[in-house]
Amino acid sequence: MTASRTATLTRATSESSIELSIDLDGTGTSSIDSSVPFFDHLLTAFAKHSLVDLTVTATGDTDIDVHHTVEDIGITLGAAIKQALGDKAGISRFGDALVPLDEALVQAVVDVSGRPYLVHSGEPAGFEHHLIGGHFTGSMVRHVFEAIAFNAGLTVHVTVLGGRDPHHIAEAEFKAFARAFRFAIEPDARVSGIPSTKGAL
């Protein structure tokens, strides 16, 4: 796999403006300014633990809610992943990870299937209403995974197996997804062509 697996995309709506660059064969470096501080933290963790290089600059109507900006970044990130993956020849395709963060424990499984699907479960009751850092609603975690999966063409399963602190749960979810994603997109020297019996992903 010698082709560069990179993408640079912009997305502008009446609600947000996003510039995003990704290198799937990076070292985990990132420069994130989403205008949503806790989301910066989550995206930085994603880059670090997936070993992708990621640059995000975004502004939006966060005076109303962080929802629009966070969702649009997820859409743009998913689209950039899809573009950077190209024809997916030679990748491992499947990845899974089990990641703790103190009392929280999360399992994530990724299939670079070309079929968008998200199964997301196990967050404790009330998590979706919690304001993490005073501004990031817990419900946005699932929403970001939906946006990434549907725009990248990934099948993603994220299962929270345990946890009490909303910060820990959200961060463990992103770290587990990052690790599973890393393994799924990793080149495999034993794979010849597209890793599918259909011949396409």
Taking residues 10-24, report their average pLDDT: 97
Tell me the pLDDT band of 29, cut-offs 50, 70 and 90.
very high
Q: Say how far apart CA 165 and CA 182 lie, in whole Å.
A: 26
Report the CATH number of the 6-185 domain. 3.30.230.40
* Structural Rg of the chain based on CA atoms: 16
Q: Say how far apart CA 5 and CA 177 lie, in whole Å.
A: 19
pLDDT reported for residue 3 = 80
Q: What is the pTM of this model?
A: 0.96
pLDDT reported for residue 2 = 57
List the chain domain ranges: 6-185
pLDDT reported for residue 199 = 84
pLDDT reported for residue 78 = 98
Taking residues 3-26, report their average pLDDT: 96
pLDDT at residue 8 is higher than 60: yes
pLDDT reported for residue 201 = 87
pLDDT reported for residue 50 = 98
pLDDT in tens, 177-198: 999 999 999 999 999 999 998 8
| Average predicted confidence (pLDDT) for the chain | 96
Q: Say how far apart CA 1 and CA 198 lie, in whole Å.
A: 20
**Which secondary-structure segment (H or E) carries 59?**
strand 53-60
With beta carbons less than 8 A apart as the criterion, state whether 73 and 20 touch.
yes
Share of the chain above pLDDT 90, in %: 95
Rounded (10°) angle between helices 37-50 and 67-85: 20
pLDDT at residue 16 is higher than 90: yes
What is the number of helices (H) and of strands (E) in the chain? 4, 10
